[in-house]
């Protein structure tokens, strides 16, 4: 994998200024060039329904209420434009609710006050929580409309399906890669191949690791980021968190050969943690900060890692490249998709369906995907990523190499969702992830020094409690 490096120690004492730890990185910068905001989509429906003649006001006129956590400027511009154009075309008003809270918290508050919104944009995990409470309406026919519009299929690995019914229109997905600084690789004589085995990745991290730059980051906290890290590497080792027995979902983490894979994954991430900051309290912004400030050589994330470099140090954007796969026999990482959901208790569901359909037609969605967290919000239909309107859009063509887009697309096509380990889909998967028990597993081993095998067994027990509560 690696060419010979004749420089001796990982870093020469005279070459530190370029890679010094930079603690002055702007913590508020996890945000927004070309709409680089949190992954999300949002707002608006489709329809079989009435045309209505809504206005933002009252009476019995239809009004579609849309909740979204997408609050960056590019997202707001797109949603507001969709709402205005839809109003002009149909006479139906659309009210955008840009929530600073979690969208699910905002929705819960509205439901409790008798003001159930029609639509929201949620990621798969958030949507699953509402689907479990029977608060979402099925949207399978709208997924079909979306597929017909772009001449492709939405793969199972980004769908939220329960008993054969879709509960999201998955407009985007966030596939995972390992991003790295290519100029650092060049300095050490390392090859910039897209594919790496676990062993090769560990060797590279060890080679680069020094007082001036960590070789990688292994988040080791009770957090969703740490859970995300463990689950990615577990899937790349052919392991799984859950399985089915006689149709029933069960925890597989400590069962049979899968336990050996889980323990091996923990041991590997424990060894890799030697070349990482302590990261015992790391959340999503922290791993981006460490990478963008060149405090670490790698970031296990989606393309947002590159978007943050474009936003903060655009002169270095050409030096940020992706690895995929990084694997121990299974070329697979996690995809976390998201898109439209339709609230079952809403008053104007037909009009909302009409709005969803409106937003996916006539390349309106392509406009979203090329302006709001471009490439990080990757198309869920492969044919969209091949369209000239997508590839030749100004932001993508100026900032992403063709080869990098191919690597991102491969990670999407080979990705797996939280519930995609089983057939049929494990509807409890997103909630097992958000429990953060897998993050606690890494904390217990990497920070507290717990025995990996015991830690896996204890984590599996706690996950069984989570699953039992979900199944009640």
- For residue 371, what is the domain's CATH number? 3.40.190.10
- Asked if residue 322 and residue 235 are part of one domain, the reply reads yes
pLDDT of residue 138: 98
139-152 average pLDDT score: 97
Structure tokens at 200: 């090769």
Nearest residue to 222 (alpha-carbon basis) of 445, 459, 437, 465: 437
- Asked if residue 350 and residue 331 are part of one domain, the reply reads no
Instruction: For residue 1, name the pLDDT band (cuts at 50, 70, 90).
Output: very low
- Asked if residue 7 and residue 63 are part of one domain, the reply reads no
- Asked if residue 167 and residue 35 are part of one domain, the reply reads no
Instruction: For residue 162, name the pLDDT band (cuts at 50, 70, 90).
Output: confident
- Asked if residue 214 and residue 290 are part of one domain, the reply reads yes
Q: For the chain, what is the domain count?
A: 3
What 3-state DSSP class applies to 322? strand
pLDDT of residue 161: 86
Cα separation, 264 vs 339, in Å, equals 35
In whole angstroms, what separates CA 192 from the centre of its chain? Answer: 24
116-132 average pLDDT score: 92
Q: Is residue 461 part of a domain?
A: yes
Residues 43-63 pLDDT 10s: 333 333 333 333 333 446 899
- Asked if residue 287 and residue 171 are part of one domain, the reply reads no
- Packing angle of the helix pair 198-208, 256-272 (nearest 10 deg): 20
Burial class (CB in 10 A: 0-12, 13-18, 19+), 9: exposed
pLDDT at residue 459 above 70?
yes
- Asked if residue 183 and residue 330 are part of one domain, the reply reads yes
pLDDT at residue 27 above 60?
no
- Asked if residue 396 and residue 423 are part of one domain, the reply reads no
- Which one is predicted more confidently, 340 or 162? 340
The mean predicted confidence, pLDDT, of the chain is: 89
Residues 253-264 pLDDT 10s: 999 999 999 999
202-206 average pLDDT score: 98
- Asked if residue 271 and residue 199 are part of one domain, the reply reads yes
Residue 433 backbone dihedrals phi, psi, to 5 degrees: -65, -50
Measured between its terminal Cα atoms, the distance across the chain in Å is 50
Q: Is residue 48 part of a domain?
A: no
Looking up tokens 């949002």 gives 42
What 3-state DSSP class applies to 172? strand
Q: Is residue 299 part of a domain?
A: yes
- Asked if residue 354 and residue 289 are part of one domain, the reply reads no
Q: Is residue 33 part of a domain?
A: yes
Nearest residue to 383 (alpha-carbon basis) of 74, 146, 163, 196: 146
Residues 365-375 pLDDT 10s: 999 999 999 99
What is the extent of the structural domain holding 246?
A: 176-336+419-471
pLDDT of residue 163: 86
pLDDT of residue 129: 85
pLDDT of residue 407: 98
Q: Is residue 391 part of a domain?
A: yes
Helix residue ranges per DSSP H, 153-293: 182-188, 198-208, 224-235, 256-272, 284-292
CA dihedral 177, 183, 184, 185 (to 10 degrees): 70
pLDDT of residue 53: 34
Nearest residue to 459 (alpha-carbon basis) of 270, 226, 237, 254: 254
Q: How many residues does the chain have?
A: 472
Q: Is residue 49 part of a domain?
A: no
Q: Is residue 47 part of a domain?
A: no
Helix residue ranges per DSSP H, 162-237: 182-188, 198-208, 224-235
Radius of gyration of the chain (CA): 22
Q: Is residue 50 part of a domain?
A: no
Instruction: For residue 151, name the pLDDT band (cuts at 50, 70, 90).
Output: very high
pLDDT at residue 221 above 70?
yes
- Asked if residue 438 and residue 409 are part of one domain, the reply reads no
Query: How many Cα neighbours within 13 Å face the side chain of 214?
Result: 24
pLDDT of residue 121: 97
Looking up tokens 């336990």 gives 259
- The kind and range of the H/E element at 441 are helix 437-442
Q: How far is CA 322 from CA 202, 298, 355, 403, in A?
A: 16, 9, 36, 9
Is the separation of the CB atoms in 135 and 345 below 8 Å? yes
Instruction: Select from 418, 434, 461 the last residue of a domain.
Output: 418
pLDDT of residue 60: 64
Instruction: Select from 418, 433, 450 the last residue of a domain.
Output: 418
pLDDT of residue 49: 33
Least confident of 30-44, 292-306, 384-398: 30-44
Share of the chain above pLDDT 70, in %: 87
- Which one is predicted more confidently, 45 or 275? 275
Share of the chain above pLDDT 90, in %: 80
- Asked if residue 411 and residue 294 are part of one domain, the reply reads no
């Amino acid at each position: 994998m690696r060419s010979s490096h004749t420089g001796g120690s990982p870093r020469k004492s005279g070459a530190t200024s370029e890679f010094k730890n930079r603690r002055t990185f702007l913590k508020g910068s996890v945000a927004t060039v070309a709409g680089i905001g949190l992954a999300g989509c949002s707002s608006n429906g489709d329809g079989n329904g009435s045309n209505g003649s809504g206005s933002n006001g009252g009476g019995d006129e239809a009004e579609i209420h849309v909740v979204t956590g997408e609050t960056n400027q590019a997202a707001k511009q797109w949603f507001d434009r969709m709402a205005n154009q839809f109003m002009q075309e149909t006479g139906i008003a659309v009210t955008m609710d840009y929530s600073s809270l979690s969208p699910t918290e905002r929705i819960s508050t509205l439901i409790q006050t008798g003001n159930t919104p029609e639509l929201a944009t949620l990621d798969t995990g958030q949507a699953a929580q509402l689907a479990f409470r029977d608060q979402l309406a099925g949207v399978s026919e709208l997924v079909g409309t979306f597929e017909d519009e772009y001449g492709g299929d939405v793969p199972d690995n980004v769908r939220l399906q329960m008993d054969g019914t879709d509960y999201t229109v998955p407009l985007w997905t966030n596939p995972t890669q390992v991003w790295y600084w290519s100029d650092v690789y060049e300095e050490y004589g390392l090859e910039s191949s897209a594919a790496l085995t676990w062993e090769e990745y560990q060797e590279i991290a060890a080679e680069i690791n020094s007082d001036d730059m960590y070789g990688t980051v292994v988040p080791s906290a009770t957090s969703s980021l740490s859970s995300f890290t463990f689950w990615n590497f577990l899937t790349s080792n052919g392991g799984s968190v859950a399985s089915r027995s006689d149709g029933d979902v069960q925890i597989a983490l400590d069962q049979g050969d899968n336990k050996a894979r889980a323990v091996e994954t923990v041991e590997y991430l424990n060894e890799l943690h030697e070349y990482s900051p302590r990261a015992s309290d790391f959340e999503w912004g922290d791993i981006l900060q460490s990478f963008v400030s060149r405090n670490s050589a790698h970031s296990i994330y989606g393309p947002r890692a590159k978007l943050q470099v474009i936003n903060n140090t655009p002169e270095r954007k050409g030096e940020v490249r992706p690895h995929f796969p990084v694997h121990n026999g299974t070329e697979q990482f996690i995809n976390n998709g998201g898109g439209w959901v339709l609230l079952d208790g809403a008053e104007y569901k037909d009009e909302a369906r009409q709005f969803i359909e409106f937003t996916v037609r006539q390349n309106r969605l392509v406009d979203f995907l090329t302006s709001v967290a471009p490439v990080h919000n990757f198309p869920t239909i492969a044919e969209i990523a091949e369209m000239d309107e997508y590839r030749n859009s100004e932001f993508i063509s100026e900032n992403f190499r063709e080869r990098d887009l191919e690597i991102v697309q491969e990670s999407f096509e080979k990705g797996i969702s939280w519930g995609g380990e089983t057939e049929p889909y494990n509807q409890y998967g997103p909630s097992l992830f958000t429990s953060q028990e897998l993050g606690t597993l890494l904390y217990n081993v990497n920070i507290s020094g717990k025995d990996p095998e015991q830690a896996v067994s204890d984590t599996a027990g706690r996950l069984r409690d989570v699953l039992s509560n979900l199944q009640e």
